Amino acid sequence: MKPLEMLEKLQNGVAGEESIREFYETHGFVQLGEHRLDVGRESRSAVPEVIFGLGKSVDQLREIVGFYVARQLPLLVTKLDVAKGTALAAEFPPFEFNPSNGLGRIGRIAKTMAGSAAVLTAGSSDAPIAEEALGSLDFFGISTLRAFDCGVAGIHRLFASAHEIREADVLIVVAGMEGALPSVVAALFRQPVIAVPTSVGYGASFEGLAALLGMMNSCAPGVLVVNIDNGFGAAAAARKILAGRKAG
Amino acid sequence: MKPLEMLEKLQNGVAGEESIREFYETHGFVQLGEHRLDVGRESRSAVPEVIFGLGKSVDQLREIVGFYVARQLPLLVTKLDVAKGTALAAEFPPFEFNPSNGLGRIGRIAKTMAGSAAVLTAGSSDAPIAEEALGSLDFFGISTLRAFDCGVAGIHRLFASAHEIREADVLIVVAGMEGALPSVVAALFRQPVIAVPTSVGYGASFEGLAALLGMMNSCAPGVLVVNIDNGFGAAAAARKILAGRKAG
Amino acid sequence: MKPLEMLEKLQNGVAGEESIREFYETHGFVQLGEHRLDVGRESRSAVPEVIFGLGKSVDQLREIVGFYVARQLPLLVTKLDVAKGTALAAEFPPFEFNPSNGLGRIGRIAKTMAGSAAVLTAGSSDAPIAEEALGSLDFFGISTLRAFDCGVAGIHRLFASAHEIREADVLIVVAGMEGALPSVVAALFRQPVIAVPTSVGYGASFEGLAALLGMMNSCAPGVLVVNIDNGFGAAAAARKILAGRKAG
Amino acid sequence: MKPLEMLEKLQNGVAGEESIREFYETHGFVQLGEHRLDVGRESRSAVPEVIFGLGKSVDQLREIVGFYVARQLPLLVTKLDVAKGTALAAEFPPFEFNPSNGLGRIGRIAKTMAGSAAVLTAGSSDAPIAEEALGSLDFFGISTLRAFDCGVAGIHRLFASAHEIREADVLIVVAGMEGALPSVVAALFRQPVIAVPTSVGYGASFEGLAALLGMMNSCAPGVLVVNIDNGFGAAAAARKILAGRKAG
Amino acid sequence: MKPLEMLEKLQNGVAGEESIREFYETHGFVQLGEHRLDVGRESRSAVPEVIFGLGKSVDQLREIVGFYVARQLPLLVTKLDVAKGTALAAEFPPFEFNPSNGLGRIGRIAKTMAGSAAVLTAGSSDAPIAEEALGSLDFFGISTLRAFDCGVAGIHRLFASAHEIREADVLIVVAGMEGALPSVVAALFRQPVIAVPTSVGYGASFEGLAALLGMMNSCAPGVLVVNIDNGFGAAAAARKILAGRKAG
Amino acid sequence: MKPLEMLEKLQNGVAGEESIREFYETHGFVQLGEHRLDVGRESRSAVPEVIFGLGKSVDQLREIVGFYVARQLPLLVTKLDVAKGTALAAEFPPFEFNPSNGLGRIGRIAKTMAGSAAVLTAGSSDAPIAEEALGSLDFFGISTLRAFDCGVAGIHRLFASAHEIREADVLIVVAGMEGALPSVVAALFRQPVIAVPTSVGYGASFEGLAALLGMMNSCAPGVLVVNIDNGFGAAAAARKILAGRKAG
Amino acid sequence: MKPLEMLEKLQNGVAGEESIREFYETHGFVQLGEHRLDVGRESRSAVPEVIFGLGKSVDQLREIVGFYVARQLPLLVTKLDVAKGTALAAEFPPFEFNPSNGLGRIGRIAKTMAGSAAVLTAGSSDAPIAEEALGSLDFFGISTLRAFDCGVAGIHRLFASAHEIREADVLIVVAGMEGALPSVVAALFRQPVIAVPTSVGYGASFEGLAALLGMMNSCAPGVLVVNIDNGFGAAAAARKILAGRKAG
Amino acid sequence: MKPLEMLEKLQNGVAGEESIREFYETHGFVQLGEHRLDVGRESRSAVPEVIFGLGKSVDQLREIVGFYVARQLPLLVTKLDVAKGTALAAEFPPFEFNPSNGLGRIGRIAKTMAGSAAVLTAGSSDAPIAEEALGSLDFFGISTLRAFDCGVAGIHRLFASAHEIREADVLIVVAGMEGALPSVVAALFRQPVIAVPTSVGYGASFEGLAALLGMMNSCAPGVLVVNIDNGFGAAAAARKILAGRKAG
């Protein structure tokens, strides 16, 4: 039986025992050392498996990156520090590491999305996380636009980008400190707003907790929040929003 | 100048001083005692102004509800306790109070959305917040379906509803305790997932903090989180997602 | 020696042992049961002693209020609940209790301040704390103006009051939920901004913690913060700002 | 139209669409790479835009500093670590870096304030944050005096400086550990007190949280609090207090 | 074998199996229903077993109080609410309940201590906890003196009691809000300082956490801290300090 | 197909689509209004579905209890308050409510376990949670013994019960305040120790957080912890430990 | 008297004074410099003394390791960093250090357990803690099996290992981020589940707090939790569960 | 006037203005650069000024140490890291730095105390903080004894030192992880117990918070707590307890 057909059955719960076992062993995931690469995640959930680089050793990452390089498959690794990222990029030529967003990539997934996402930041210090979102969106085949440094300390800077912002289908708003920008954006624009608190700040920002709580309590209805510094998660949610239009 | 025309200009930042002042005094918001009702919020942000009932006195609420009743306008009031809700419903006949979701309502907003939202709960104790989401979605003109009591302690209960869930455009997943259900749902379905942590639990749930943190840290990419017990916020975000399809 | 002269010496650290002892026993404070009323606080610190009503028994309060009533002195008691406030007002006619701000008062201090304070709120639910600030300012002889319900979910409501706000010398901004309004106000106006976080909200507002942290981390420089729900403290600080113009 | 005239209109909300657009593009802020320098912030809010050095890369800072150097404009950059500060100072001669307060500066803003600020510390370990406040005040054209090491473990050290402290118009009190000094100062002096909690301490100081909470709960009315280690914010608030006397 | 002899052996670890078993059954503790009354605690640790009233049902307390009443033994029960305390006092005449400190008592332990303890409070609202300490000290046979309402908002009120305070052997300092008084007291007096944070305050006092953290971080060396609202614990520690002079 | 056979297949992942659907509709869970009763949980996981009473309305509970009563099935409902428990017991005769442990029960599950569990408490105030554990163990068919009031303030009280404790197969140790007892027990006995922190205490116990953290950090290896006040959870874990002896 | 006999008496509380003193000095523990090695811990509590490497200096560790090496006794040291571990392994040949799990070992304890434990992880980043559990289990003489990378983002990866998992007697489930896997495992399998939260994650994972709280609040009854990153503790508990079958 | 006479007057509040000013300038404290050395602290409060080394620059410390060296006065500096401590010791020969306790010292204060203190630790990892206490006690002229590694995981190790412990006048108990040892000690011995929580542990110890909360909630009455890792503070409190016997 062909993988895609099987996956479809699997997703629908329509699969006999033997075929399930066989499928899992060959297609449901790939057993790679101790790793179980979830190769069916994209067709099942609209977001492919992406490798979380934090806390993995270089040896673990080498095993995974080598697998993708050998098969010429697209790959995204997040939260790579410079030492790991540089080492992997040196060893595996098609693997590119970008120190400004902590992403390691091979190519881009095939299925490009219709629609676009705008990424806004409150301040220039939020740029690394915004770049993580932009790089992930690009990997997901989603076109992007950017409006950085629009925080409420000079709110007219936001108004100046209003026309461009209205063109996008999803708004990703990246802000540290008190994290007030998503409230203002959600109240002025019609699109869904994905708020990304950042750890930018000090003292009572408590590594982004202040921004996170602020966004959670937005007085503007409908602000959606992801983890602190989780630019990738915002991009993944954008993909589900755009993909979800014709639910699977 | 006509309100809608003016609003359009306002939204585009195209309006001279005199007309701005005139507009604000008559159309930008309604000054009602100390309240400033933001009547343009729906056309500006896709979500109309909804009254937050918690912490308002009955006198404050009477002033607001009376205004809407007199003008026969649709109205949604959230987080009403039984004493306030019953008193208002008794005084203002078209205003209906539902003690099972804490919502007070007059009618439904005119512009019905295409698309639908499914509301899932982990357990039966999460029902009041799920009902708040369902009632708000209904007020917003969004059709709904429900799959309650699907938590991971008996995950096959989720699988049993998979077909219906796949029909919806947005998934709202309501869970207390450890809040694990949104991760599982986001990993199995393609649609955007709005996770609502609830204060269901005790001890180290810390009034919903455990569920909130769990959802924030979901290993399934793309889970979007709103405030603890914020069923209304999830519905508002769903409206922005559905409305946002043709941004603008 | 006359009290004021003595107090002056005391404040300058110029006073012999015997006179200090004598003064303390008669003028430095009033020993009233176990209470030590700090009658010199206003001339020393610009803010008179104000009685904190929370956590005091009715018996304790009766002792204090009776003292002031008997001497026809101005008095402010904060954070009184309705039971205590009503009981005291019934027993001591010149003592007035206002349930909407939790203040009990006798008159107003003699020395009126030049200058004025504007009290802004983000939402109508913040009114009780704003009223506490307004009542305290009035007790301190400071003229006030008010602009309620100006939160960032409809930021144009703030712009509409800009002219009046510019007339005031100090801005007190009262906000719950994410507490974003003080940042916006501090960035648009020249006056000092005293931010009062309120416990309005639920879930991850954690009884006002979210607003407090947000205000602490304001990206607009110069926001000054007082305790959650501390409308009185904001008024006291306003008095010091206005009084402080000619220090000493 | 001339920038200052335009800015005035803008601040008053009196500006037609075309001129707003034109203004924003040339004068409302400066688009410098991804940065949007808010050049109108001083005339609007009494505090000029100051660059937050923490979390910005040297490349980002080089772009900004170079802009100011080229135009011979005054500039303040806060929270610079030694590596960044030294590199920038070496590359841009008029830019001076002071490692003892983490500030990088070019000159001083033109409009000098009448009035002065005293900066007190509880202990010698609080000096770096006090120096940040003093350097920022100097940049703002405010004259300063200092009284360090006056903490409550030897409260007579405070009394010894009482005469000088009475000369200042605003008191900035910097304290770590339990942060008790601002309460004592606010109770003894008439001027407004800006309390700066520091991260000095260990264990249950939780990086300054103990001092922050202490200051928030001061039993002496009218203590105003800024973020942990935010010497700059205290200086900015002092400027608003001094500037606010004749509100703009 | 006689109880005291046995206890001595027990404390020294010198006791054979059979005698240990026999002793435990008769003297080591009293099995009373599910309770195990630790009758040897005073001779072992200088502080007798005291019953913690919070969280015990009236039935549980009745069982215990009845035991002591029947044997005419001294007894202290702490943290009794008015309902429980009144019911027990009505049923067991020698048992006295004092609603102002939450203590229920029968008599006083026989072995009176040399030495005395002073109990200071920052404000009048701290009185109930100070009274719990005073009542417990009295039960322990320790003579007391009191100096209430000496907080740092009017620090001269503390100085006025300095002579009396110097007479005591141990200082118990009870303070809520920012909890600054113990630091000032420890720096001015030679005696050991036991600091009792109280839950007096609101907002960011977080039920006494601010005072607790403040006392923990005292810049005055040697401040000793007990639990929030633990007046009894401070009295017990005072007893150990006084008893400990000739360690057992 | 017979339920048990089917369940076996299901657990092994061996079941075709049609039979899964059919099974789920009849045997996998019972759809009862919005509830999905997980009737297969015991054979799958060794612990039957137990109803969490907290946060469910009386109407929801009535629906569930009625179902079990009608079918004469054993049932356990936890965390019932007195109002709900009494109402249900009055309406459904075989349903018994015990206010001292908050449990509502019908009978006892059929499959009795070999082995026994001892439930220890540190103090008498921990009794309600210990009783919840004991009642749940009894419902699970596990024989129990009890040793209450053995806390470290009189550690010889623990030693006195050592012989009985050694007879049990699992030790459940219930303690509030600092929660030290599980460490001592785990270091003295060979059996697995399940530690249950309780909310007994006040102030810095933070509703059981202190005990929870203490147990988490036990210096005695192998202490296992459940949620604060979760006596039921400890009993469920004991059942898995006893049942797990012959896994699967 | 022989050590084992004595120990037996000691455990039973049956030992005269002289023999206790003598025993303690020779057999109850070993005084090694300032260390007191608890050599009787295994026979008393089923888990031998294991050395906690974190926070000990190399000198302290050298003293301990040398003692075991000289006597050819089995030894386990946990939480060793690479510098310490490598230094010790170089100096003491039979001592082996494994940098992937932070364990230093000499051999394995003699008494092998019947039964086995399965160690599951949610993701590959959890491997170091899982390896700490596996290495400790091996030291304890417990046979193991492993199923890594089974997290709920691809829950079918868990199902694929179901057969092997059913073979084990105890399940140790290691998970960071939201920590949802133990709930799913406890609901699907009959064995006791020991959940190990890890510090894998970032932002609102707060170094493992999110996972810890999630596991504490599991909706699947009977999940048992150990400290964050405490793989060793899970292994120790497994040993007690397996040893406890025939309680000592 | 002579310093000691003057100090006496000052402590008694008996001093005219001129003499106070003169005294302060010469004797009340020493102005050394920005430092104000509180030379009268010992005679006033029983504990001399001790320099807090954390957060002071080497330049600040050099200024202070040089002052003491030049005058041949005793000095204690706490919390010195190795780099600072070594640099200072190299530059100022009589200044000795001990890296195992972080203390830098010159000599010992003259007035030796009668009485002694025992320092106990739960584990060997707590040694550095215990050594800080021991070194500080020695500087204060208090004789000491030590009993390390007595934690509750092997409680008989404590019993073995019972005789020596009974000889001391004050007990300082140093413990990390769950911090249970002070409860056990306070229940077994008559002397005052000063509990020092340490940051030894990991995960949910939260840098010593677990131990701190545990000690705060001790079920054994009379445990007194100082800050996490504050060995010095425990020694200072011991000095006040011993000095306080004949209160000053």
In this predicted structure, what is the pLDDT of residue B77?
98
Comparing C19 with A85, which gets the higher pLDDT? A85
**Closest of D242, D235, D48, D186 to residue C170, by C-alpha:** D242
In this predicted structure, what is the pLDDT of residue H16?
53
ipTM of the complex: 0.90
Residue numbers in H near D125 (CB within 8 A):
52, 54-56
Dihedral of the alpha carbons of B230, B233, B238, B239, in degrees to the nearest 10: 150
Comparing E115 with B26, which gets the higher pLDDT? E115
pLDDT in tens, G16-68: 545 544 554 444 788 899 999 988 888 889 999 999 999 999 999 999 999 99
Dihedral of the alpha carbons of D179, D181, D184, D189, in degrees to the nearest 10: -130
Question: Partners of F172 in the beta sheet?
Answer: F119, F194
Q: Which chains touch H (3 or more CB pairs under 8 A)?
A: C, D, E, F, G
For residue A116, which phi and psi values (nearest 5 degrees)? -145, 165
Q: How far apart are CA E100 and CA A97, in angstroms?
A: 69
For chain C, the C-alpha Rg in angstroms (whole number) is 20
CB B169 within 8 A of CB A219: no
Q: Which chains touch F (3 or more CB pairs under 8 A)?
A: A, B, E, G, H
Q: Mean pLDDT, to the nearest integer, of F159-171?
A: 91
Q: Which of D8, D10, D17 to mutate to test the interface with B (most CBs of B within 10 A)?
A: D17
Q: Mean pLDDT, to the nearest integer, of B100-115?
A: 90
Looking at the complex, report in whole angstroms how far the Cα of residue F16 sits from the nearest Cα belonging to chain A.
Answer: 5
CA pseudo-torsion sign D12, D15, D17, D22? negative
In this predicted structure, what is the pLDDT of residue C83?
97
For residue H76, which phi and psi values (nearest 5 degrees)? -130, 130
Partner-chain contact E12 G13, CB within 8 Å: no
In this predicted structure, what is the pLDDT of residue C65?
97
CB atoms within 10 A of CB A109: 17
**Alpha carbon separation from B73 to B67, B105, E162, F186 (Å, rounded):** 9, 10, 69, 66
Asked if residue F155 has pLDDT above 90, the reply is no
Relative to beta strand B75-78, strand B51-52 is: parallel
Structure tokens at G19: 């023999």
**Closest of G183, G215, F223 to residue B204, by C-alpha:** G215
Q: How far apart are CA C17 and CA A52, in angstroms?
A: 72
Q: How far apart are CA F29 and CA F31, in angstroms?
A: 6
Partner-chain contact H44 E187, CB within 8 Å: yes
Which of helix, strand or coil describes residue C132? helix
Q: How far apart are CA G33 and CA H108, in angstroms?
A: 27
Which of helix, strand or coil describes residue G225? strand
- Prediction pTM value: 0.93
Burial F25-64 (b: 16+ CB within 10 A, else e): eebbbbeeebbbbbbbbbebbbbbbbbbbbbbeeebbbbb
Q: How far apart are CA G222 and CA G185, in angstroms?
A: 11
pLDDT in tens, F20-74: 545 544 447 888 999 999 888 888 899 999 999 999 999 999 999 999 999 899 9
Structure tokens at C68: 């002031």
In this predicted structure, what is the pLDDT of residue B24?
47
What's the 3-state SS for F184-228?
Answer: HHHHHCCCCEEEEECCCCCHHHHHHHHHHHHHHCCCCCCEEECCC
Residue numbers in D near E215 (CB within 8 A):
178
3+ Cβ–Cβ pairs closer than 8 Å linking E and B = no
Asked if residue B176 has pLDDT above 70, the reply is yes
Partner-chain contact D187 E218, CB within 8 Å: no
Comparing G180 with C11, which gets the higher pLDDT? G180
Partner-chain contact E123 C52, CB within 8 Å: yes
Count Cβ–Cβ pairs < 8 Å, chain B vs chain D. 14
Which of helix, strand or coil describes residue F85? helix
**Interface list for chain B against chain G, based on CB atoms closer than 8 Å:** 122-123, 151-155, 177-180, 183-184, 187-188, 201, 203-206, 209-211, 213-221
**Cα–Cα–Cα angle for A223, A228, A233, nearest 5°?**
70
CA atoms lying within 13 Å on the CB side of residue A44: 28
Of A123, A183, A221, the CB nearest to C180: A183
pLDDT in tens, G103-136: 999 999 877 788 999 999 999 999 999 999 999 9
Q: How far apart are CA E217 and CA E223, in angstroms?
A: 9
Partner-chain contact E157 C38, CB within 8 Å: yes
Partner-chain contact H55 D200, CB within 8 Å: yes
Question: Partners of E30 in the beta sheet?
Answer: E37
Q: Which chains touch D (3 or more CB pairs under 8 A)?
A: A, B, C, E, H
Report how far Cα D60 is from the mean position of its chain's Cα atoms. Answer: 21
Query: Which residue is listed with tokens 């050592």?
Result: F162
pLDDT band at residue E22 using 50, 70 and 90 as cut-offs: low
Structure tokens at A129: 């996380």
Question: Partners of A76 in the beta sheet?
Answer: A105
pLDDT band at residue B211 using 50, 70 and 90 as cut-offs: very high
Count Cβ–Cβ pairs < 8 Å, chain A vs chain B. 148
* Termini Cα distance of chain E: 21
Comparing E116 with G39, which gets the higher pLDDT? E116
Relative to beta strand D116-121, strand D143-147 is: parallel
CB D224 within 8 A of CB C226: yes
CB D198 within 8 A of CB D230: no
* Termini Cα distance of chain G: 21
Minimal-distance CA residue of chain H relative to C14: H17
Relative to beta strand G35-37, strand G51-52 is: unpaired
Looking at the complex, report in whole angstroms how far the Cα of residue F28 sits from the nearest Cα belonging to chain G.
Answer: 13
Looking at the complex, report in whole angstroms how far the Cα of residue D202 sits from the nearest Cα belonging to chain H.
Answer: 8
Q: Mean pLDDT, to the nearest integer, of G191-214?
A: 97
pLDDT in tens, A90-145: 999 999 999 999 999 999 987 778 899 999 999 999 999 999 999 999 999 999 99
Percent of chain E exceeding pLDDT 70 equals 87
Residue numbers in A near D41 (CB within 8 A):
153-154
Count Cβ–Cβ pairs < 8 Å, chain F vs chain G. 151
Alpha-helical runs (H) found in D33-117: 41-45, 58-71, 82-91
Asked if residue A160 has pLDDT above 70, the reply is yes
Residue numbers in G near E15 (CB within 8 A):
17
Residue numbers in E near C209 (CB within 8 A):
204
Q: How far apart are CA E247 and CA D176, in angstroms?
A: 38
Asked if residue B2 has pLDDT above 60, the reply is no
Question: Partners of H71 in the beta sheet?
Answer: none
In this predicted structure, what is the pLDDT of residue F18?
53
* C106-115, D4-13, F187-196, G193-202: segment of lowest average pLDDT: D4-13
Minimal-distance CA residue of chain F relative to H175: F219
**Alpha carbon separation from E213 to D152, D201, E179 (Å, rounded):** 16, 11, 9
In this predicted structure, what is the pLDDT of residue C247?
37
pLDDT in tens, A25-62: 444 788 899 999 988 888 889 999 999 999 999 999 99
In this predicted structure, what is the pLDDT of residue F2?
46
Looking at the complex, report in whole angstroms how far the Cα of residue D138 sits from the nearest Cα belonging to chain A.
Answer: 22
Minimal-distance CA residue of chain D relative to C163: D12
Of E190, E222, E237, the CB nearest to H233: E222
Helix count and strand count (H, E) for chain H: 11, 11
D18: left (phi over 0), alpha (psi -120 to 50) or beta: alpha
Count Cβ–Cβ pairs < 8 Å, chain A vs chain G. 67
For residue G104, which phi and psi values (nearest 5 degrees)? -110, 135
In this predicted structure, what is the pLDDT of residue C24?
46
CB contact set of A195 (below 8 Å; sequence gap of 6+): A173, A175, A179, A182, A215, A218, A223, A224, A225, A226
**Interface list for chain C against chain B, based on CB atoms closer than 8 Å:** 100, 123-125, 127, 146, 148-150, 153-154, 156-157, 159-160, 176, 200-205
Partner-chain contact C162 D44, CB within 8 Å: no
CA atoms lying within 13 Å on the CB side of residue H97: 19
Q: Mean pLDDT, to the nearest integer, of A66-79?
A: 94
Of A45, A220, A227, the CB nearest to B186: A45
Looking at the complex, report in whole angstroms how far the Cα of residue D18 sits from the nearest Cα belonging to chain B.
Answer: 8
Residue numbers in F near H120 (CB within 8 A):
none
Structure tokens at D143: 């004259």
Q: Mean pLDDT, to the nearest integer, of E43-56?
A: 93
Amino acid at H17: E
**Closest of A204, A210, A165 to residue A184, by C-alpha:** A165
In this predicted structure, what is the pLDDT of residue D244?
60
Q: How long is chain G?
A: 248
Partner-chain contact H125 G79, CB within 8 Å: no
Looking at the complex, report in whole angstroms how far the Cα of residue C127 sits from the nearest Cα belonging to chain B.
Answer: 8
Q: How far apart are CA D80 and CA D56, in angstroms?
A: 9
Structure tokens at A23: 């499928």
Relative to beta strand B193-197, strand B223-225 is: parallel
Q: Calculate the average pLDDT of chain D.
A: 89
Which of helix, strand or coil describes residue E143? strand
Which DSSP symbol is given to E207?
Answer: G
Minimal-distance CA residue of chain C relative to B47: C153
Dihedral of the alpha carbons of B15, B21, B24, B26, in degrees to the nearest 10: -110
CB atoms within 10 A of CB A51: 22
Structure tokens at E107: 């008599």
Q: Mean pLDDT, to the nearest integer, of E23-36?
A: 73
Amino acid at G115: G
Of D169, D217, D222, the CB nearest to C237: D222
pLDDT in tens, E159-180: 888 889 999 999 999 999 999 9
DSSP H or E segment with residue H9: helix H3-11
Partner-chain contact D202 H54, CB within 8 Å: yes
Q: What is the pLDDT along chain H (248 residues), one digit of tens a residue?
A: 344 454 445 444 455 545 544 554 444 788 899 999 988 888 889 999 999 999 999 999 999 999 999 989 999 999 999 999 999 999 999 999 999 999 999 999 877 788 999 999 999 999 999 999 999 999 999 999 999 999 999 888 898 888 899 999 999 999 999 999 999 999 999 999 999 999 999 999 999 999 999 999 999 999 999 999 999 999 999 999 999 664 33
CB contact set of F142 (below 8 Å; sequence gap of 6+): F112, F113, F115, F116, F117, F235, F238, F239, F242
Q: Mean pLDDT, to the nearest integer, of F166-195?
A: 96
CB atoms within 10 A of CB E145: 15
Burial D218-234 (b: 16+ CB within 10 A, else e): bbbbbbbbbbbbbbbbb
Q: Mean pLDDT, to the nearest integer, of F185-207?
A: 96
Q: Mean pLDDT, to the nearest integer, of D146-159?
A: 92
Residue numbers in B near A206 (CB within 8 A):
none
Q: How far apart are CA E57 and CA E71, in angstroms?
A: 22
3+ Cβ–Cβ pairs closer than 8 Å linking B and H = no
3+ Cβ–Cβ pairs closer than 8 Å linking E and C = yes
**Interface list for chain C against chain E, based on CB atoms closer than 8 Å:** 10, 21, 24-25, 28-29, 34-36, 38, 40-41, 49, 52, 54-57, 60, 79, 197, 199, 207-209, 212, 227-230
DSSP H or E segment with residue E5: helix E3-11
